[in-house]
Amino acid sequence: MPLLLGCIAGFIAWFLARYLVAGLYTVNQNERAVKTSFGRAQRVAELTTLQDPISESLNEDEKTRYAYPQVRVIPPGGPYFKWPWERVYKVSIATETVNMAWDPEDRSANQSGTILEAVTKDQLNTGLTGQIRYRVSERNLYAYVFGVKQPIAHVMGYFVAVLRERISNFEAPAAPAVSATVPPGIVPGGPDATIVTGISINDIRKNMRDLNEHMDKECRSSAARYGMTLDASLITGIDPPPEVDSALAAINTAYNQVSSDISLAQAAADQKIVQSRRAVEIETLRAQAEVEPLIRQAAQLAELKRSGPGVLATYVRNVRLSLYERAQRILLEARP
């Protein structure tokens, strides 16, 4: 009898330690968790990701393929409890940064994950360098944990496909209209005068910001597709093939020289125009200074004439007498 009681007590202690105490768990601050019961994740009613704003960037065809159930997300904290038939999947939602050439399935690809190759519109094979930031979307944990086998591989593949498609079809925005004497592709005095337009690599380099913004816009659907959000992409370098680099450098140097000469000529012309305008203003002021006393004197004479019939004659006589006083010699016309 004591042996049986000891076995029962030992079983109870083992059960409590194995299933009750071990069933307690916590979730760290940078983690989120999903609980399954008999392999089925706890869902939020009958809602899917199509009712969530993250699916707004999907088209109608994609919405039929990327409709995942919304699951109950366990926030940071604890301790929480799970039964033996339940399982907890913890996922880190911290933002991570990787090289855009990194291939999670083949570490030796893309020159060991350092340079991503792409073909431009004019059939030049270029090397791209840069980084992307990504994090797990807690609004679509079902896709990340259960829906996609390797979410990071899908996200990187999707990003690379969109980037290569953009590089192969990239066209620079229309340049502002310039004078007919200015060579095409150069805006005198503008910030783009150092790079020639019309060459795909130069167009991409000049519009690097537009390229990054396009990538961010096109990759907004990654959260609805694979449960991962691309926070930002930063393409930092576009290097042409060595045999083309020297030719591009020579072309850019020649156009830069032309742009510099045009800017100097325009500056000299602007300076001459300003000097001419100042000379005209000075001569105009001088003429006004000479005319103004005459105008005032005429106004005074008109006022005197309106004062009476003999006022103007008296004024003339007084002026003549004052002149006689200051004169040293007076010549009078002899009248017959």
Q: According to the model, what pLDDT value does residue 14 have?
A: 67
Phi then psi for residue 31, to 5 deg, are -125, 155
Instruction: Indicate whether 120 pLDDT > 80.
Output: yes
Domain residues of the chain, as ranges? 8-170+207-240
Q: Which residues contact 143 (CB under 8 A, 6 or more apart)?
A: 49, 66, 68, 151, 224, 225, 226, 227
Per the model's pLDDT, the better-predicted residue between 153 and 257 turns out to be: 153
Instruction: Indicate whether 179 pLDDT > 80.
Output: no
Show the CA angle centred on residue 249, arms to residues 248 and 251, nearest 5°.
65
Please state the separation of Cα 195 from the chain's center in Å: 19
For range 290-301, the mean pLDDT: 82
What superfamily does domain 8-170+207-240 belong to in CATH?
Band 7 domain (3.30.479.30)
Q: According to the model, what pLDDT value does residue 69 have?
A: 92
Q: According to the model, what pLDDT value does residue 1 have?
A: 65
Work out the mean pLDDT of the chain and round it to a whole number. 80
- Written in H, E and C, the secondary structure of 270-321 is HHHHHHHHHHHHHHHHHHHHHHHHHHHHHHHHHHHHHHCCCHHHHHHHHHHH
Q: According to the model, what pLDDT value does residue 242 have?
A: 66
Contact at 8 Å (CB) between 143 and 65?
Answer: no
* pTM for the whole structure: 0.61
Instruction: Indicate whether 181 pLDDT > 60.
Output: no
In the structure, what pLDDT confidence band is assigned to residue 187 with cuts at 50, 70 and 90? very low
In the structure, what pLDDT confidence band is assigned to residue 72 with cuts at 50, 70 and 90? very high
Contact at 8 Å (CB) between 98 and 203?
Answer: no
For 242-289, write each residue's pLDDT tens digit.
Answer: 666 666 666 667 667 777 778 888 888 888 898 888 888 888 888 888
Please state the separation of Cα 286 from the chain's center in Å: 54
Instruction: Indicate whether 180 pLDDT > 70.
Output: no
For range 214-220, the mean pLDDT: 85
Q: Name, of 230-244, 288-302, 310-324, the range with top average pLDDT.
A: 288-302
Record the tokens describing residue 158, joined without a space. 């999707």
In the structure, what pLDDT confidence band is assigned to residue 315 with cuts at 50, 70 and 90? confident
- Determine what percent of the chain is predicted with pLDDT higher than 70: 81
Q: Report d(CA 8, CA 38) in Å as an integer.
A: 28
Rg (CA), the chain: 43
Which range (115-119, 184-188, 304-308) has the least confidence?
184-188
Q: According to the model, what pLDDT value does residue 246 have?
A: 63
Lookup result for tokens 């010699």: 329
Q: According to the model, what pLDDT value does residue 32 have?
A: 92
Q: Report d(CA 135, CA 333) in Å as an integer.
A: 112
Instruction: Indicate whether 193 pLDDT > 50.
Output: no
Instruction: Indicate whether 184 pLDDT > 70.
Output: no
For range 106-126, the mean pLDDT: 83
Q: Name, of 170-174, 183-187, 266-270, the range with top average pLDDT.
A: 266-270
Q: According to the model, what pLDDT value does residue 259 have?
A: 73
For range 192-211, the mean pLDDT: 65
In the structure, what pLDDT confidence band is assigned to residue 205 with cuts at 50, 70 and 90? confident
For range 79-89, the mean pLDDT: 87
CB-based burial label for 195 (10 Å; 0-12, 13-18, 19+): buried
For range 57-75, the mean pLDDT: 89
